[in-house]
Amino acid sequence: MTRSISILGATGSVGCSTLDLVRRNRDDWRVEALTANGNVAELAVQAREFGARLAVVADEARLPALREALAGSGIEAAGGRAALCEAAARGADVTVAAIVGCAGLAPVMAAIEQGGTIALANKEALVSAGEVMTAAVARHGATLLPVDSEHNAIFQCLAGGDIADVRWITLTASGGPFRTWTAEQISKATPAQAVAHPNWDMGAKISVDSATMMNKGLEVIEAHHLFPVGLERIRIVVHPQSVIHSLVEYRDGSTLAQLGPSDMRVPIASCLAWPRRMETALKPLDLPAIGTLSFFAPDEERFPATRLAREAAQAGGAAPAVLNAANEVAVAAFLAGQIAFTDISALVAQTLSGTLPPAPRTLEDVFAVDAEARARAAAQLEHA
């Protein structure tokens, strides 16, 4: 049976990986909508290839260029943030939410309100608006499937099990490009070095988050909302080979692990085919060639971001949204050469140290907290 699919953030790494799977299974999918932030050329190529009904560019100033690129194709073109939400609300069978950062929150909520299946690759949305989002999922009868490799691994390990029987959930972390660096070396890290992830091909923001290990801290918060076992039962282990993507230990002592190549097409395929499986072009793991799997405890002295994230999750309320907003501001400043690598976590800590706003109850509340936190972080930058 042919199903419809919309991809929010189609030109990013997750979006391109999703379209690769669709390309290999063309008879199974009808592409409803594709969106991009500003990459009109790539978006138009994708929309034409897959016969999308709608293409949306978030940067409304790029809409004339998109219309020109799609001229004669019969594909509807739209632009602006409101158009992103309208694309998400078109009611596709599966919506892949892959817009990076809090910018993806409103479109994700628009998709949830349609009650369909949302394959969530935007961890920042769930971090900033966890209670608001999960309440909306329940209210609208939506299905939320995790695309992040770690959370998808947990989801697979929980299949057929009872979450009440879970003793531990363990998120694995590669450790990023600076895992073996000294504190002094880390303090001098450049943006080019930070985005050079040893195992995964990701965008700049997520790559920097992996280098600071904030990515793993955000994933702890995300797991807390997706898998309600209690924050104290969610832990991190550094696993440089990135072969085991997460583990679930049950109370009888059994530990289930999901293994796979470091390729986002694996968790994406899991979500697209759920509750079944689909063929991919990926080679199976060659365990003898891999040889050794190693594990280390995280070092929160050199990488304090995981501690900051856990403290924000424990505080609850507005703290996770403030953490996420401050981190987005800090990472952008680092990539622009405004601050040092170690200043990223320091700026997040400073932003969290003040009096926090009340806990958000609605999407508008989340946006208000986000805006206030960004302003506070920007003010800190001016004094950096």
Domains of the chain, residue spans: 3-146, 148-298, 316-384
Per-residue confidence (pLDDT) for residue 201, from 0 to 100: 66
Of the candidate ranges 26-35, 197-206, 375-384, the one whose mean pLDDT is the lowest: 197-206
Query: What pLDDT, in 10s, does the model give residues 349-363?
Result: 999 998 999 999 999
Return binding residues for NADPH: 11-14, 39, 122, 124, 203
Q: How confident is the model at residue 206 (pLDDT cuts 50, 70, 90)?
A: confident
Q: How confident is the model at residue 91 (pLDDT cuts 50, 70, 90)?
A: confident
Higher pLDDT, 232 or 199: 232
- The pTM assigned to this predicted structure is 0.93
Return binding residues for 1-deoxy-D-xylulose 5-phosphate: 123, 149-150, 174, 197, 210, 215-216, 219
| Domain at 3-146: CATH code | 3.40.50.720
Both structure tokens of 167: 């003793």
Per-residue confidence (pLDDT) for residue 343, from 0 to 100: 97
Per-residue confidence (pLDDT) for residue 109, from 0 to 100: 95
Per-residue confidence (pLDDT) for residue 191, from 0 to 100: 95
Return binding residues for Mn(2+): 148, 150, 219
Q: How confident is the model at residue 377 (pLDDT cuts 50, 70, 90)?
A: very high
Q: Is the pLDDT of residue 234 over 70?
A: yes
Query: What pLDDT, in 10s, does the model give residues 290-320?
Result: 999 999 999 999 999 999 999 999 999 999 9
What b-and-e string marks burial along 2-39, b requiring 16 or more CB atoms within 10 Å of the CB? Answer: eebbbbbbbbbbbbbbbbebbeeeeeebbbbbbbbbeb
Q: Could you tell me the fold of the domain covering 316-384?
A: Rna Polymerase Sigma Factor; Chain: A (1.10.1740)
Mean pLDDT: which of 48-62, 89-103, 193-207 is highest?
48-62
Nearest to 18 by CA among 266, 309, 371: 266
Per-residue confidence (pLDDT) for residue 203, from 0 to 100: 77
Q: Is the pLDDT of residue 197 over 80?
A: no
Q: What value, to the nearest 5°, has the Cα angle with vertex 235 and ends 101 and 312?
A: 50
Q: Is the pLDDT of residue 160 over 90?
A: no
Per-residue confidence (pLDDT) for residue 200, from 0 to 100: 66
The mean per-residue pLDDT over the stretch 64-75 comes to 98
Q: How confident is the model at residue 1 (pLDDT cuts 50, 70, 90)?
A: confident
Return binding residues: 11-14, 39, 122-124, 148-150, 174, 197, 203, 210, 215-216, 219
How do the residues of the chain divide into helix, strand and coil, expressed in percent and rounded to 5?
Answer: 50, 15, 35
Coil vs helix vs strand at 4: strand
Q: How confident is the model at residue 288 (pLDDT cuts 50, 70, 90)?
A: very high
Query: What pLDDT, in 10s, does the model give residues 25-67?
Result: 999 999 999 999 999 999 999 999 999 999 999 999 999 999 9
C-alpha dihedral, 309 to 139 to 373 to 173, nearest 10°: 20
For 159-198, list the strands marked E by DSSP.
Answer: 166-173
5 contacts 94 by C-beta, under 8 angstroms: yes
Per-residue confidence (pLDDT) for residue 9, from 0 to 100: 96
The mean per-residue pLDDT over the stretch 130-150 comes to 95
Both structure tokens of 127: 């971090």
124 contacts 146 by C-beta, under 8 angstroms: no
Provide the phi-psi class of 299: left if phi over 0, else alpha when psi is between -120 and 50, else beta.
beta
Per-residue confidence (pLDDT) for residue 15, from 0 to 100: 96
